[in-house]
Amino acid sequence: MKTGLKKYIIVLATAPLLFSSCSDSFLDEVNPNNQTPATFWINEDNVLKGLSAIYNPIRRMTYGYYGGFEGTLHNQMRADDLYPTRGEEAAIWEILSFTNTPNTNSVWGYLYTGIQLANEFLYNAPNVNMDENALSQYLGEAYFLRGFWYFRVRTDFNEGVIRTLPQSVDVEAHGLSTPEEVLDQAIADLKEAKARLPKTRPAEEAGRVTQGAAIAMLGKAYLWKGDYAAAKAEFETIMNGDYGYDLMPEYEDNFRDDTEFNQESIWEINYEALGNSGDSWGSSTGDNAFMGSVLGHYFGPSLNGPGATGQNAGGGWYKMQPSPYLIKRFIAEPRPEGSDTKWDKRLYTTCFFKYSDYGDVKPDETFYDGFTFDEMFEQTTQPNGSDKYRMTAGQSPAYPDIEGEEGRFLMKKLTPWWNKTGCTMYNNNAGRITNFRIMRFAEVLFLHAEACLETGDNAAAMADINRIRVRAGLPEKQLGSKDAIMEELRNQKLLEFAGENVRWDDLVRWYSFEELKPLLQDRKTDTKIWELSYGTNENGEQVITGYTFTGRIEDTQNYANFQKKHMYYPIPQSEVDANLNLEQKADWQ
């Protein structure tokens, strides 16, 4: 459903709220439409505009928390499910190679902009004369979004600044709160949201949060807190109640633009081809700003060469690749004899590859209206490719050889592989409308399974995991011990959510630093080192003419420098400098 948030997206782009951050370095009130709180908070129409603005930091196209250029989907590549393309944005690479400092670009500002907008709303909206039931529901949305942001403060920074009033009302500088305090604030907000939000929404409100989303996030927060009984109870409310959630029969339907807001979707960002289609670098704010997504461009393959028909040419920048460890885990368990694919069905949605290279029963496919895998692989990864030459540093992912054939894989998930106009973000509306699913029912099953394991209900945990396995085309398993079931849970969750901003949060929760560092050093020693040969082209320019594998596989993401402090980000130095009561986290001082 692509019309769901149309009117709300439009008002979001022009909502005249005070876009000041919740952190103490953002004290200045920015008022784009020359209004003050006294003149703005006067009617329900403006309340709805104010509510829409709170969603904005989540959905900003380029510069936002899930933005294509510098958002959290890039930073997640510290985990073992992904291989970041080398030589990319300097600030992102600092985080991915564990050389970041408190002066490195940070998602802090996105989180606290959202918190401040929610605080403004929760403080001012109750004073508007309007229908009480509608107001309560709107407040529930604001509580949910603030709770979500505080949960992300906890997962990204561990410690954070807690503010529940607008900066103009609570002018005192606040210091850091503990991880427990930040999580408790998220839980309190999500409880309020649960009590106020509707169970379902009409189609025209698709994309706005529901009671089910609040319950799922509340259960997740309880799990992070270690209150497994409370988490289990929340998850069972939506698993056993009449909320209508279930797994989609086909895994790929969670990533297409023609199967959005389906039964597996707990919460997703609604992208729409509204506004100026020539706007490729905006943040979905301002008059006529484009309301689409650019994720497919940043993570999609190069689309040039013989397969290009004109309308599908150009492709993306391919900043995200599947990790060799991910591929090893996918191929470790072939499907039973007689299945319609050789491996786990999720692999065929997560990655592009040439099925016939490995004796697969599934026929080879073309993508983006005619591109073969061989064409995309050459254009995207080889020195003679047409766009980003991904081996110019003499490095490539060390995918395993399979039955004597070189392992060749490209990232497919989060790209519109079905779209006939390709994945470029330039004047390509059809390639920029795929929603991003922030939370799926599959995650609820995994979180419930973990809560069950921690409360002694191994059978229920195994039942949850088997639902995931069966959808993936794998046979059910029956494991008895808690440790064995937990290991299966970790493996299946890796395969289910590769590239969806889940894995790093899990790794730092499941493992101590002393356990995590050697694990990552082993799994991320995953780069083939090549010796390159050079020549000159007809213009006298130096070009790569060949490459030879040296036999070396190395860690080129600098996990040797991974320290305990890198499990979470530092507080931005600009925030510390602006706030006399805020000290840098101890391990980053």
Categorize the per-residue pLDDT at 14 as very low, low, confident or very high, splitting at 50, 70 and 90. very low
- 10 Å CB burial of residue 264 (0-12, 13-18, 19+) is buried
How far is 331 from 400, CA to CA, in rounded Å? 10
Domain residue limits, the chain: 6-221+568-588, 295-435
> Could you read off the pLDDT of 221-267 as tens digits, one per residue?
999 999 999 999 999 999 998 999 999 999 999 999 999 999 999 99
Let me know: does 265 contact 251? Beta carbons within 8 Å.
no
Of 314 and 99, the one with more pLDDT: 99
- Return the pLDDT at 116: 96
Q: DSSP alpha helices (H): ranges in 395-511?
A: 441-454, 458-471, 482-497, 503-510
Contact of 461 with 450, CB cutoff 8 Å: yes
Give yes or no for a contact between 99 and 563, defined as CB atoms under 8 angstroms apart.
no
- Tens digit of each residue's pLDDT (9 = 90 or more) over 20-49: 334 443 223 334 445 788 889 999 999 999
pTM of the entire predicted model = 0.94
DSSP-derived letter for residue 404 is T
Instruction: Indicate the SS3 state at residue 324.
Output: helix
CA separation, residue 202 to residues 5, 12, 207, 209 (Å): 11, 19, 10, 12
Query: Which of 116-125, 303-312, 380-389, 440-449 comes out lowest in average pLDDT?
Result: 380-389
Contact 434, 59 (CB under 8 A): no
> Which of these CATH numbers, 3.30.470.10, 1.20.810.10, 3.40.50.300, 1.25.40.390, describes 6-221+568-588?
1.25.40.390
Cα separations in angstroms, 451 against 186, 226, 230, 428: 19, 9, 9, 43
What type of residue is 340?
D
Burial 324-351 (b: 16+ CB within 10 A, else e): bbbbebbbeeebeeebebbbbbbbbbbb
| CA distances for 107 relative to 37, 70, 570, angstroms | 27, 8, 11
CB 499 within 8 A of CB 413: yes
